[in-house]
Amino acid sequence: MTREPLSLIYEACVDSLEDAIGAQLRGASRIELCSALDQDGLTPSVELTRKCIEMLTIPVMVMIRPRRGNFVYSEAEIQQMEIDIAHFKVVGIAGVVFGLLNELNFIDVENTCHLAKLAFPLEVTFHKAIDFTPDLLKAFKELNSIEGITRVLTSGGMDTAWNGREVIKAMYDLPERRIKIIAAGKVVPENRVQIAAFTGVTELHGKKIV
């Protein structure tokens, strides 16, 4: 039996108070709170977020995503994201999670910088929108140049973290890497240590991570 390193961080993706409490009881290190997980996660309500913070002892990251679909946002949608970040900053969350691309599916650097600055001093995770970019390593290098981005969530551009393990490892080994990498994509108790050992990452994410 493989012994799990004590330093691994397991971030559970949940969309209800019940699931958040259950994830903590099963050993989650951190929560990513969303609504509508059947739509890959949207912005949760402030009320649900407050309840989770009251009931949990582990950090809560909050998804900032105003709609389903792609990650190319209109000016009005970005304004909604600004409003949501401002609302969540005062309730005691650990950080926010968002991802913005331009019409060519490269990182929307200008608006990502703007939202990261607005979120400060919260932690900021750039989510799996990065997996839709045409050059993932180039996109990752861009993210490393944006002040305020603390993590990136990725499956290495593949359908699962294990299938994208080579790219995740390349991201982890990037000499100029400043930000942390969270491996995501069908990460479960049966493979999470294996993924961490191969890629070098110490943070892993999933709906069934614990």
CB 34, CB 42: distance < 8 Å: yes
Identify the bridge partners of residue 154 per DSSP, sorted by sequence position.
183
Identify the bridge partners of residue 152 per DSSP, sorted by sequence position.
126, 181
Is residue 62 classed exposed, middle or buried when 0-12, 13-18 and 19+ CB atoms within 10 A define those classes? buried
Q: Residue 200: left if φ>0, alpha if ψ -120 to 50, beta else—which one?
A: left
* Residue position matching structure tokens 């993210």: 143
- The one-letter code for the residue type at 23 is A
Per-residue model confidence as pLDDT tens for the chain (210 residues): 344 555 999 999 999 999 999 999 999 999 999 999 989 899 999 999 999 999 999 999 999 999 999 999 999 999 999 999 999 999 999 999 999 999 999 999 999 999 999 999 999 999 999 999 999 999 999 999 999 999 999 999 999 999 999 999 999 999 999 999 999 999 999 999 999 999 999 999 999 999
Question: Domain residues of the chain, as ranges?
Answer: 9-206
| Domain 9-206 is found in CATH 3.20.20.380 | yes
SS (H, E, C) the chain: CCCCCCCCEEEEEECCHHHHHHHHHCCCCEEEECECHHHCCECCCHHHHHHHHHHCCCCEEEECCCCCCCCCCCHHHHHHHHHHHHHHHCCCCCEEEECCECCCCCECHHHHHHHHHHHCCCEEEECHHHHHCCCHHHHHHHHHCCCCCCEEEECCCCCCCCCCHHHHHHHHCCCCCCCEEEEECCCCCCCHHHHHHHHCCCEEEECCCC
